[in-house]
Amino acid sequence: MAFRAPIRTMATIARQSLKIGLIPADGIGKEVIPTAKAAIEALGSDIPKPEFIDLLAGFEHFAKNGIALPDETVNILKNECDCALFGSVSSPSRKVVGYSSPIVALRKQLDLYANIRPVTSVAANPGEKPNVDLVVVRENTECLYVKQENLIIGEHGKEARATRLITERASRRIGQMAFEIAQARPRKHLTVIHKSNVLSVTDGLFRETVRGVPSLPDVGGRFDGVTIAEQLVDSAVYRLFREPQIYDVMVAPNLYGDILSDAAAALVGSLGLVPSINAGDNFVMGEPVHGSAPDIAGQSIANPLASIRSAALMLRHLGYSKGADRLDKAVDEVIREGKVLTPDLGGKAKTGEVLDEVLRRI
C-alpha cells in the first residue's frame, strides 16, 4: 500500500527496549488496544523488546474519579515512553461540567500537531493497485478544537458562539508535514482543503500558508516535484465519493480533516479498517480512527484491524519499517481472504478470532 511510504521517520535510536504507553480509554478501546499489543509482541527481533505501560484516561475514568486525563498519564508519556497507543474516547454530545476530551488534551500537551490518516482499500490481488489510496493530513491542535465557547442571552434568546483559531505557525507545520508525505509517495500530489470563499480570514490564512511552504527559505526546493491543487471542503466531500482516485494527500484544518477521513472510511468498507497516528517532532501516538462504539462495546465483535494498522504506522514513524510491513501484510491477507471478519465487514467473527488470524500470518 502506498501509505507505507516513509512519512517523517523520527531518528531511530539504538534502543534495548521500546516503551509503549497503552491508553485503552473507553468502550471498544479496551478491546482493540490489547490486540495491537499482541501484534507488536509477535514481531520478535524486528523491533526492540517492547515494554508496555498501562495508562488511564477517558470519560469512564472521569465519571468515576472526576478526572478525564490524569497528570500521571501525561507525565509518564513525556518522561518514560517512546511512543503510545490510544484506543477511543466516549465524549458525550451534551455538555458535562468539568469534562474535556482527553485525546484533544493529549494532542496539545504532547504537541502532536499532525493527525495522519491513510485510507487505502485492499486490492483483490497483491500486485494490483488499490482503487482508494489517499492520506488525510489533519492539523491537530487548533481550529474549533481550541474549545472556546460561550452562551449568552441575546435580544432573540440564547446565542452560542465559538472561537476558531488558525495560526500561521500551525498551518506552516502541518503544511510541511503534508508536503513531506506527498514527496515520499509515487504520485507526489497534494490537495489543500479549505473554505476560504466564505471564511476568507481563517481559511484564507491556512490556504496561503500551506501553499507557501515550498517557498520557505529552509525548504530549498525539496518539494519541487510535488504538484499542488486545492478544493473547497464541501466539493471535496462530493468528489471524494464520486472520484476518490483524484486524491493522493489531502491537508486540512482540524475539523475538515476529521470529517473527511471519517467519510473516506466509507469507501473502504468500515471505520474499523482506518488507522492514524498523532505525530509531533518528538513523539508519536497510534490511534484507530473509529470511536468508542458503545452499541457494541463488551460484545467482543469490535474490529481490531484499525488498531493493528495504527501500531504499524507508529512503528514505521519510529523507523521500524520491517516490523510495520509484517503487520500490514498480515492485515491485508486477512482482509483479502475474507473468511474471518467482524460484523462491520459482513463477517461473523469475534475480535479474538480476527486477531488469531493476523497473528498466524505474522
pLDDT at 233: 97
Distance CA 362, CA 358 (A): 6
If pLDDT is split at 50, 70 and 90, which confidence band does 235 have? very high
What mean pLDDT value characterizes the chain?
Answer: 94
Residue with cell 510541511: 176
For 114-272, give the CATH class: alpha beta
Q: What is the DSSP string of 345-358?
A: GT----HHHHHHHH
Q: Is 37 helix (H, G, I), strand (E, B) or coil?
A: helix
8 Å CB contact between 233 and 260: yes
User: Does 1-112+280-362 match 114-272 in CATH topology?
Assistant: yes
pLDDT tens, position by position, 40-87? 999 999 999 999 999 999 999 999 999 999 999 999 999 999 999 999
Over residues 8-14, the mean pLDDT reads 60
Q: Is 250 helix (H, G, I), strand (E, B) or coil?
A: strand
Cite the beta strand spans of the chain per DSSP E.
17-25, 49-54, 83-88, 114-120, 133-139, 149-154, 157-162, 189-194, 227-232, 249-252, 277-279, 284-286
pLDDT: which is higher, 93 or 247? 247
Domain coordinates in residue numbering, the chain: 1-112+280-362, 114-272
| Amino acid at the residue 202 | T
Q: Is 3.90.120.10 the CATH number for 1-112+280-362?
A: no
pLDDT of 201 over the 80 cut: yes
8 Å CB contact between 84 and 50: no
H or E element in which residue 72 lies: helix 71-79
Query: pLDDT above 90 covers what percent of the chain?
Result: 87
Angle between helices 71-79 and 102-109 (to 10 degrees): 40
DSSP-derived pairing of the beta strands 83-88 and 17-25: parallel
pLDDT of 93 over the 90 cut: no
| Widest Cα–Cα separation across the chain | 67
Q: Which residues lie below 8 Å from residue 142, measured CB to CB, with a gap of 6+?
A: 165, 166, 167, 170, 253, 254
Model pTM? 0.93
Beta bridge partners of 279: 114, 284
